[in-house]
Amino acid sequence: METIVLGIGITALAGALATVAGAAEDTESDIGSQGDPNSQVQLAPQMGYIHRIFNKAVSGEPPAYGLWCALGAGVAFAFLQILHNPALAIILGSIVAVFVQGVYCVTAYLGRTASLAKFEQPVYIDVVKSLTPVTMAHAFVAIFCTVTMCYLMAEFLHHPFALPLLGLVWGIALGAAGSATGNPFYGKERQYQNQNFGAGVPISASGNIVRYAEAGQRSSLDNGWFTTKFAGPASGICFGLIVFLELWRTVLFEHELGQWGAVIIGFVLIVIFAIIDLWVEKWSRTTYGPYEKAEEASS
Amino acid sequence: MSALGGQARGGDGINWKGTAVGIFILLVAILITYALEQSLIPPGLFGSLQGVALVVPLIGIIVGGALIGFGVHFVPVGGAPAAMGQAPGIATGVAMLAAGAGLAGLFGGAWAWETTHDFWITIIGGGIGGGLMMAITCLMVNLTYVFAMGVPSASGKVAKDPITGFTFPEFKSQGTEGHGLPFISYFGGVVGGFLAALGGTLVYLELLLVYQPGLEKLLGIDAGSVAPLAVSLAGIFAIGFFLVNAVLSAYNITGTIEGPHDPKFKRVPRAIIGCAVASAVCGLVAILTVVAL
Amino acid sequence: MTVKMEASAGGIPHKTLLIGGLVTAVVCIYLTYLNQILGVGYFAFFGGIAAVAALWWGSDTIKHLCSYGLGTGVPSAGMIAFGTGAIAMIVATKFGIATPIVAVIIAAIIGAIIGYIANEIINMNIPVMIISLTELAIVGALTMLGLASMACGSFLFENMITNGAIVTAVGLSGAENAGILVANIDATGTLIGGCVFAVIFMLGAIALQHPFNACLGPNESQDRTLMLTMECGFLSMIPVAVISYAYLDLVAASVSLVVSLIGFVYTLREYFRLSRRDAYAWLDAKPIREVGGEQ
C-alpha cells in the first residue's frame, strides 16, 4: 500500500513537472522560431520581407530536446557518481545543457542569416544578444523539469533505464509533443496574424509574415508573449498528460487483471481520447460550417 | 512546397532487382546468425534454448523493424505546411514524431518487462504506450486547430473520410491543400504510434533476451551485475534501430503523409522490405556484441 | 522545409576532407591508447580531437547528400548516421587494439547496405546515396568512439563497463577467456551500464547535422560551415570532459576540459569572423531595412 501511495505521489509530481516542461519547451521554440514555422522565417527574406525574428534552426525540436535532456541527465548522472547529491547534480547538468543550447542557438542564427546575404537580410546582432538569454531561460526550465522527472522515475519508480537514457527518451517525446501541439498556433496564428482567422494560410501568401508590431517592429519576444497564451500551456497539458497517464496506468494497474490491467486501461484511455476527438471534429463542422466561396474571394 | 522534391524518384512501384538483393542479404544475415549459434558459441550458453536462441531473436528484430517501418506510414505528418494550416496533419517531422511515440512506448514496455517478465504483456504494453502518446498528441493538435485557429478538419487527398463519412471539399479554405486532422488521420496516428512502439519494444526485448545471458557468459559475471549493461545496450540499440528504420520510412514517404488514406501509403511494401533488411543487418551486428571472438 | 538547399562549390575538395578526416580521426583515437601504455589518463582528449576530425569530414558529406533534397530535412541524415554508427562502434570495441579499424570496416558495411536499401529498395535513386551513407556511418562510429574514449580514457569494451579503472588491455579474446574481469563488477554507473553513451549519441548526431543545417542558404560557404563544424565538435567535447570527471582523475579530466575550451573559444571567434564576412550587413539595434516587400 505504501509503495502504491508513493507511486501515485511520484506520478502526480512527474506529471506536474512534465506540464511545466512542455509549456517552457514550446515557448522556447516559438521565441526561437524552431521547428516547422522556421521555414517561413527563412522564406520571408527570399520574398523580400526582411525581418527581425530570431531564426535559430538547430534541428527539429524532438532531436534538439533529445540532446538537451539527455545531456542534462547525463551530466547529472556523472555528477551523481561524484557528489551523491541529486539536487546539485541535476542543476549542474541542466546548466551544462543550457550552455550547449545557447551556443547552438547563436551559431544557428548567425549561420542561417549570413547565408541569406543574397536577399539582403542583415544580421541583427542585438536579436542574438537580447533573445538568446530568453530562450536559454525557458530551455533551463524545460530541461530541469524533464531531468528531475526522469530522476524520479529512475529513483523512486525503479524504471530499468539509466538516467541518461530516460533523458533521451523523454526529451524526444517532449520535443515531439511540444512541436506537434505548438507549431500550428505559432505558425498560423502568430506569423500570419495578418491573414483571415478561421482559415488556412493561402499558399500564395507564404513568406509574408508579420514583421511589425502594434507599435514598432515585432521581436521574437512578442511571439513568446503571444504563444504563452495558448500554445505553451496546450503543449504543457499534452506532455503532462502523456507522462502522467503513462505512469498512472502502470503504477496503479500493472498487477490487475492477470497483469494485463495497464494494457487494458491504456486501450480504454485511447478510446476515450478518440471519442473526444470525434466530438471536437463534429463540433467544428456544425458550428463553423462550410466555407462560403464569396467570402473567400476577398482574401 | 516541393522545392526539395525535384529529384527523380521511382514512383510508387517496387524495384524487384533491389528487393531480391535485399531479401538475399536478409537471408544471409539469418544464415550467419544460425552458423554463429551452431558452431561459434559454446554449448550450454543459452541452456535449453540452444539451437534457436540467436535466430529467433534476429527474426524478432526483423519483424520489429518491419513493424516500425509499417507504423511510420500511418502517422499523419504535414511538416511545415501543416504549421501554416496549408496541409493536413501534424506539424512536425515524420521520423521524429514516430520516434517520440515509439520511445514513449519503449519506456512503458521496458518497465512492463521489469515487473511482469511476460513477452506479450511487454510488447503489447509498449505498443499501447505509443498509441496513447499519439492519441493525446493528436487530440491536442485537433484542439489547437479547432479552438485556437478556428479551422475545421479537411483532408486534401480524399473527398470523404472513410471512417466517419464526413465530406471535405467544402471545409477546405481557399488556397490550401486542406488543414486540421480528420478522424482518419487521428486513427492513423494512433495505429501508427501503436505499431511503431510495438516494433520498437519488440526489438528492445529481443536484444535484451540475447544480451542478458550472452553478457553473463562473456564477462563471467552474475545476472545482477550484468542487468544494467544489458538494459542500457538493448535500450540504446533499440533507439538506434528505431531511428534507422524511421528515417528509411521517412525517405520512402518523402516528407509528408496524411495517414492510411493517402495515396503515398501504397508505397508501404517497399518500406517494410527495406526496414526488414536494414534490421537484419543491424541486428546481426548487434548480436555480434555478445559473441566471443 | 521549403527552403531550397544549395551547396556551395569550390573550397577544399571532398576527397581531401575524406582522407584528412578519416586518417586524423583514426590516428587520434589510437593516441588515446597511450593511456593504457603509460598508465595515465590525460591523453583522453585526443578522443575528442578525433571526433572533431570525423565531424569535419562528415558535415561535408551531409552537404553533398542533402543538396539532392531528401524530403525530410538535414537532421534525419545525422540520425541515421549515428543509429548505424552506434551499433558498429559498440561491436568494434571488443576487438582490442584493432578497435578503430574494425569500427571503420563494420560501419562501412552497414552504411553501404543501408544506402543500397535506400537507393534500390526504397527507390530514392540518388547517385551519392550509397557512398554518402557509408561515409556517414563511419563518421558516426568514429565520432562516438572518439567521444566515448574521451569520457572514459579508453576505447576498449572492458574499460567502458568498469568504472573508469584503466585496466591494461587484456581483450575479450575468446570463450576460454570468459571471466577475465572481476567476478562482480558494479556496472550501474559506467559509460555503457549507465548509458552515458546515449548522451554521446545525441551530442554527435546534432553536431554532425547542425553545421550544414545552420548554414544552408544561397550564400553558404564551405570554410564557414567547416569552422562551425569544428566549433560544434569542440562544444560537444566540453560536456564530455565534464562527464569524464566521473571516470578519470582530476588532472586528466581538467586537461580535456581546458583543451576543449581553448578549441571552442578559438573556433567560435573564427566562426563569428566568417559570419561577419559573409553577412549582408552586421547591424546592432537597427530597424528593419525594407527592400521591396509591402510595408
Amino acid identity of A157? L
How confident is the model over A215-228, as pLDDT tens digits?
Answer: 888 888 888 888 89
Rounded to an integer, the average pLDDT of A148-155 is 90
Give the pLDDT confidence score for residue C178 in this predicted structure. Answer: 40
Beta bridge partners of C120: none
| Residue that has been written with the C-alpha cell 542564427 in this structure | A109
Tell me if chain C has a CB within 8 Å of the CB of B83.
Answer: no
Tell me if chain B has a CB within 8 Å of the CB of A39.
Answer: yes
User: In this predicted model, which residue has the larger pLDDT, A280 or B96?
Assistant: A280
The residue in chain B having the minimum alpha-carbon distance to the alpha carbon of residue A274 is B135
CA-closest candidate to residue A271, choices C90, B190, C23: B190
Given a cut of 50, whether residue C8 has pLDDT beyond it is yes
Taken in order B129, B133, B139, B143, the sign of the CA dihedral is positive
Tell me if chain A has a CB within 8 Å of the CB of B219.
Answer: no
Q: Which residues contact A268 (CB under 8 A, 6 or more apart)?
A: none
User: In this predicted model, which residue has the larger pLDDT, A294 or B256?
Assistant: B256
**Measured between alpha carbons, how far is C22 from C15 in angstroms, rounded to an integer?**
10
Given a cut of 90, whether residue A96 has pLDDT beyond it is yes
Give the pLDDT confidence score for residue A107 in this predicted structure. Answer: 92
Rounded to an integer, the average pLDDT of A5-21 is 90
Backbone φ and ψ for C121, nearest 5 degrees, come out as -90, -45
Tell me if chain A has a CB within 8 Å of the CB of B171.
Answer: yes
Tell me if chain B has a CB within 8 Å of the CB of A208.
Answer: no
- Three cell numbers at A153? 522515475
Burial group, residue B220, by CB count within 10 angstroms (0-12, 13-18, 19+)? middle
Q: How far is CA A221 from CA A54, A106, A125, B80, C288, in A?
A: 9, 16, 15, 22, 16
Confidence category of residue C2, pLDDT binned at 50, 70, 90:
very low
Give the pLDDT confidence score for residue C187 in this predicted structure. Answer: 66
**Measured between alpha carbons, how far is B275 from B245 in angstroms, rounded to an integer?**
5
Instruction: Show the CA angle centred on residue A73, arms to residues A72 and A75, nearest 5°.
Output: 70
**Least confidently predicted of A108-112, C56-60, C169-173, C190-194:** C169-173
Confidence category of residue C16, pLDDT binned at 50, 70, 90:
confident
**Measured between alpha carbons, how far is C53 from C66 in angstroms, rounded to an integer?**
20
**Measured between alpha carbons, how far is A180 from A162 in angstroms, rounded to an integer?**
27
Give the pLDDT confidence score for residue A150 in this predicted structure. Answer: 92
Tell me if chain B has a CB within 8 Å of the CB of C265.
Answer: no
Q: Which residues contact A258 (CB under 8 A, 6 or more apart)?
A: none
Q: Dihedral angle at the C-alpha atoms of C246, C146, A93, A19, nearest 10 degrees?
A: -140
Q: Which residues contact C98 (CB under 8 A, 6 or more apart)?
A: none
A117 vs C279: CB contact, 8 Å cut-off? yes
**Measured between alpha carbons, how far is C61 from A120 in angstroms, rounded to an integer?**
29
Q: Which residues of C touch B285 (CB under 8 A)?
A: 87-88, 91, 106, 110
Confidence category of residue C174, pLDDT binned at 50, 70, 90:
very low
CA-closest candidate to residue C99, choices B9, A82, A60, B293: B293
Determine how many CB atoms are found less than 10 A away from the CB of residue C229. Answer: 30
C279 vs A113: CB contact, 8 Å cut-off? yes
Rounded to an integer, the average pLDDT of A182-207 is 83
The residue in chain B having the minimum alpha-carbon distance to the alpha carbon of residue A42 is B80
User: What is the domain partition of chain C in residue ranges?
Assistant: 14-168+187-278
User: What is the domain partition of chain B in residue ranges?
Assistant: 70-287
User: What is the domain partition of chain A in residue ranges?
Assistant: 2-197+219-253
Give the pLDDT confidence score for residue A146 in this predicted structure. Answer: 93
Confidence category of residue A1, pLDDT binned at 50, 70, 90:
low
pTM score of the predicted model: 0.90
The residue in chain C having the minimum alpha-carbon distance to the alpha carbon of residue A168 is C198
* Average pLDDT score over chain C: 81
**Measured between alpha carbons, how far is B147 from A269 in angstroms, rounded to an integer?**
22
Taken in order B39, B44, B45, B48, the sign of the CA dihedral is positive
Q: Check: CB of residue C95 under 8 Å from CB of residue C102.
A: yes
C72 closest CB neighbour out of B42, B250, B274:
B250
**Measured between alpha carbons, how far is B21 from B26 in angstroms, rounded to an integer?**
9
Backbone φ and ψ for B16, nearest 5 degrees, come out as -65, -35
pLDDT tens track, chain B, 293 positions: 333 434 444 466 777 777 888 888 888 888 887 777 776 555 444 433 444 477 788 888 999 999 998 998 888 888 788 888 788 888 887 778 888 888 888 898 888 888 888 888 889 989 999 999 999 999 998 898 888 888 888 887 888 888 888 888 888 887 788 888 888 889 989 999 999 999 999 999 988 888 887 777 777 677 777 788 888 888 889 888 888 898 888 888 877 788 888 888 888 888 888 889 999 888 888 888 777 65
A63 vs C217: CB contact, 8 Å cut-off? no
C123 vs B226: CB contact, 8 Å cut-off? no
Amino acid identity of C96? G
Q: Check: CB of residue C79 under 8 Å from CB of residue B95.
A: yes
C125 vs B8: CB contact, 8 Å cut-off? yes
**Measured between alpha carbons, how far is C143 from C84 in angstroms, rounded to an integer?**
12
Q: What is the DSSP secondary-structure string of C73-135?
A: -SHHHHHHHHHHHHHHHHHHGGGGGGHHHHHHHHHHHHHHHHHHIIIIIS----TTHHHHHHH
CA-closest candidate to residue C246, choices C41, C34, C37: C41
**Measured between alpha carbons, how far is C221 from A115 in angstroms, rounded to an integer?**
8
Give the pLDDT confidence score for residue A272 in this predicted structure. Answer: 93
**Measured between alpha carbons, how far is C159 from C190 in angstroms, rounded to an integer?**
9
